Structure 1
Amino acid sequence: MVKIPELGLDDDLPGAQFASETKKQMITQGAEPGIHRFERLPSYEHYAGMCACGFRTPQPSYEHMGDLNRFIWEHLERDVFPPVDEALLLKEAQLIDLGDPIGYHRLVEATEEHGIRHVGWLVAGTRGSMCLKDGAEFGAFQGSWIKYSTEQEESCPMEKTESSSPVWVPDSYWGTPNELLKQGDTAIGRIRYSDISHAFGCWFGPPEDERWVGLEEDAKDARGVVEAALKRQESGPVVWSFGSTGEAYDATQSRADITDGDVLVIKREKVIGLAWTFPFALTEAFGELRTLANTYDPRTYKDGMFAASIPVAEGEATRLGIPLTRVDAAATAPGDSDQEG
Structure 2
Amino acid sequence: MSRLLADPDFVEANARFNTVEVINDFVPSSRTAHADAKAARRELFRDPQVRRVTVEFVGTGYAIVAERYATFTADELAELTASDVDGYAALLALYARFLAKIESNANRYGSTKDVDGPGAVFDHDDAHQEQVVALLEVLAAEADDRPFAARFSSRARTVGYEARKFATPYTVPGKTVLRVQSAIRDAKGDLSAAAAALAESQGDRNGISADRFGAVVDAIQPGRRVDIDDETTRNIDDPNALSALAGVLSGFDDERLDEAWSLLSDREQDVLTAHLGLDGEEPMTHLDVARVLGISRPTVTRAASSGLAILRSAMSR
Give TM-score, length-normalised by structure 2.
0.29
- Looking at both structures, which has the greater relative contact order when contacts are Cα pairs under 8 Å and sequence separation is at least 6? 2
- Higher helix fraction (1 or 2): 2
Q: Rg: which structure is higher? A: 2
- Higher strand fraction (1 or 2): 1
Give TM-score, length-normalised by structure 1.
0.27
